[in-house]
Structure formats: C-alpha cells, structure tokens
C-alpha cells in the first residue's frame, strides 16, 4: 500500500454508513460493524478541514430493487439504459430506520450529507455522480464543487461497501482531480473474495490505499 502525501486541505468522506448495510440490515455487508469504532475516532479527530457523508436514500419501488422486476432475484443483473445493473434487495428506503445514518457516530461533525439514489429511475453508487440515466449520462451530485469551494485537494474515504459505493466514489474522486486515499481497514466488501483484484484495480486507477494506523497526523 502506498502512503499519502501532505496536501493543503483534506476531506473525510464517509460512505453509506447506514444500518441496512450493517449486520442484520437488508443489504448487510459482512463485518461492516467492525469499522465503526475506527470511523468514530477519525470523525472526532482534528485531522480534516471538511467531513462529508453520503447516504443511500431510495424511494419505494426503486428501479435497482429486484422486487420491481418479475422473476428476478437479488444480485441478478439486467441491462438498464445500455449498462449492466445489479438488482439489490430493497434497502435504504427513504424514512426507514435502515436508511438513517448510523446513530453511534458523531454526525454533528459532518458539514454536508449527499443523498443518492433518490431518483426512482436511476441507481447511484458514487458520491460524486449518479449512475447512467435514460439519456446515457452520469449526472453530478455537486460534491466535487462543494469540496473545491472549501479548498479541498485531497480526500480520504471510508465506509460501505468497499467494492461498490466506496470504489465508485474513489474512482470518481480521482477523475475529478482530487488526491484520493482509501482507508482499507475502515471499509468492507460485499464480495470479500474479490478484494485482491480490487486492490490492483484501485491502485491502477490512481487511488492510494492505506490503513488507519498509517494516517498522517497533520493533514487539514
């Protein structure tokens, strides 16, 4: 894993840390609860000038739910707007307890929450851009502009799931021009069996991987 440099201003991006992605949730990620204490410590530290959370926020009947497609099962794939779409169990439905930001974390430290997946026609993994819509484009969420206006040059990502929403957010952060770090031990994957390939793909895409014990102490 490569270590981070020392940028002028850094942001912590907390990806989809919601009960539906933790053990017992509708789309549980194995050992997802193991990240909570480390995430909490980072949030309470003075290491970051900006903290932002993303929140899956689906209306009932979202197009990504397997329940909306006859004869489909969760984790089946279909073609949607010319791209592959994984079908998920109903999860993070607006207003449900599973969609709330996890109550054990100090969300008062967060300056903005990016809600994604609110359009019933379009899935949304990345905090920076929605998935492809009917017109074939990926619309921005506004997160990149929010960070740039605050002088952020470098982002550090943690949360769930490592191989889906964290990955897409990290790759889009690189594309948007941010120095991008993924805190590996403060994420978990839906498919942990693919983690070694994921490491290779992320690093080849320009994402820097590190562990929370390797975090520099002076980034702001």
Active site residue 116: yes
Active site residue 92: no
What is the DSSP track for 193-211?
GGHHHHHHHHHHTTPEEE-
For 74-178, strand residue ranges (E) read 77-80, 83-86, 112-116, 154-160
16, 20, 56, 90: which one is catalytic?
A: 16
- Taking a C-beta distance cutoff of 8 angstroms, is the pair 10, 47 a contact? yes
Active site residue 90: no
20, 56, 165, 172: which one is catalytic?
A: 165
20, 33, 56, 116: which one is catalytic?
A: 116
Q: Which of 115, 90, 111 is nearest to 100 (CA)?
A: 115
Query: Which structure tokens are listed for 29?
Result: 């990620």
Task: Point out the residues that are catalytic.
Answer: 16, 116, 165
């Amino acid at each position: 894993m490569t270590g981070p440099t020392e940028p002028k201003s850094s942001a912590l991006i907390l990806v989809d840390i919601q009960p539906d992605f933790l053990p017992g949730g509708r789309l549980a990620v194995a050992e997802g609860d193991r990240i909570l204490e480390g995430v909490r410590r980072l949030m309470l530290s003075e290491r970051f000038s900006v903290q932002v959370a993303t929140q899956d926020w689906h209306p009932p009947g979202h197009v990504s739910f397997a329940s909306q497609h006859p004869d489909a099962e969760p984790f089946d794939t279909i073609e949607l707007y010319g791209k592959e779409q994984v079908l998920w169990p109903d999860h993070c439905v607006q207003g449900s307890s599973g969609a709330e930001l996890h109550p054990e974390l100090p969300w008062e430290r967060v300056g903005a929450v990016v809600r994604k997946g609110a359009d019933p026609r379009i899935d949304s993994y990345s905090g920076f851009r929605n998935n492809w819509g009917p017109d074939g484009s990926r619309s921005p969420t506004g997160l990149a502009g929010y960070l740039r206006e605050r002088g952020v040059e470098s982002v550090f990502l943690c949360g769930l799931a490592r191989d889906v929403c964290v990955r897409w957010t990290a790759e889009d952060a690189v594309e948007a021009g941010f120095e991008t770090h993924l805190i590996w031990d403060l994420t978990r994957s839906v498919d942990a069996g693919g983690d070694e390939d994921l490491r290779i793909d992320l690093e080849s895409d320009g994402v820097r991987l590190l562990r929370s014990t390797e975090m520099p102490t002076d980034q702001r």
